């Protein structure tokens, strides 16, 4: 059974760095046919893709957030980590990690999702 | 970046109704279009890929169609568990943009 689980802080102060971890099971981060993405949903708003990483360690970022995001993976721990610097209350959202099919050049669909983790940015 | 526009943004329907949701891409995305169902407090559920192929386990009352820039998601007979928000998502670019969502509410 394929599962993904997010973990991280519930509350972060403005200007701090947010670090989220996605722990996967049931598939390998070295599988060339898929990768892991981060997606978020602010309260009352829609879904926004943030970043993804594939087995080749190739990465892509949302253009508007590229300077603030870093995605990395530790295949030995089956974990994908997303860091977001200089957070703002506008970054308050539920953050999901999801398995993404395809390849780095041709990513496609998010077929399996984690349960999500709620992050609030407030002083 | 490709923009994905869904319409309507919300609709009210009754159990048993046929419901159609439209998704339009700002440029041609061939058939690289996926659909998800989102309920409050739950993770999105992957419904349809490649515009018209049902993900395993998805009821056959769901169907998708379209190519190029115009796509539709149809629920042939709305069931109580189908009340949710539906999102389209393009799988053509590297930015993987979602539509704004369509909330299906009980009439």
Q: Which residues of A touch B96 (CB under 8 A)?
A: 37, 49, 52, 100, 107, 110
Q: Looking at residues A84-110, what average pLDDT do you find?
A: 94
- Dig out the tokens for B100 from the structure: 């704004």
Distance CA B97, CA A120 (A): 24
A43 has a chain B CB within 8 A of its CB: no
Q: What are phi and psi of A7, to 5 degrees?
A: -145, 150
Q: With a cut of 90, say whether residue A102 has pLDDT above it.
A: no
Q: With a cut of 90, say whether residue B26 has pLDDT above it.
A: yes
Determine how β-strand B53-54 pairs with β-strand B4-7: unpaired
Tally Cβ neighbours within 10 Å of residue A73: 21
A109 has a chain B CB within 8 A of its CB: yes
* pLDDT tens by residue, A14-60: 999 999 999 999 999 998 889 999 999 999 999 999 999 998 899 99
pLDDT at position A25 is 96
Q: Which residues of A touch B43 (CB under 8 A)?
A: 96, 113-116
Contact (CB<8Å) B46/A113: yes
């Amino acid at each position: 059974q394929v599962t993904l689980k997010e973990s991280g802080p519930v509350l972060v102060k403005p200007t701090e760095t947010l670090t989220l971890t996605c722990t996967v099971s049931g598939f390998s981060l070295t599988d060339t046919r898929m990768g892991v993405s981060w997606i978020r949903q602010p309260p009352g708003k829609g879904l926004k893709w943030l970043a993804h990483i594939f087995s080749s360690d190739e990465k892509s970022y949302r253009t508007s957030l590229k300077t603030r995001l870093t995605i990395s993976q530790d295949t030995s721990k089956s974990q994908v980590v997303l860091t977001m610097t200089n957070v703002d209350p506008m970054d308050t959202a539920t953050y999901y990690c999801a398995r993404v099919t395809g390849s780095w050049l041709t990513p496609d669909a998010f077929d399996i999702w984690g349960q999500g983790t709620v992050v609030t940015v407030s002083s | 970046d490709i923009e994905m526009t869904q319409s309507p943004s919300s609709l009210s329907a009754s159990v048993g109704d046929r419901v159609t949701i439209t998704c339009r891409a700002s440029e041609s995305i061939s058939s690289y279009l996926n659909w998800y169902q989102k309920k409050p407090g739950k993770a999105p559920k992957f419904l349809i890929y490649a515009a018209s192929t049902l993900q395993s386990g998805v009821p056959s009352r769901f169907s998708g169609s379209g190519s190029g820039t115009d796509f539709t998601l149809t629920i042939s007979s709305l069931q109580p568990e189908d009340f949710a928000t539906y999102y389209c998502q393009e799988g053509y670019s590297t930015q993987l943009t979602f539509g704004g969502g369509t909330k299906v509410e009980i009439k």
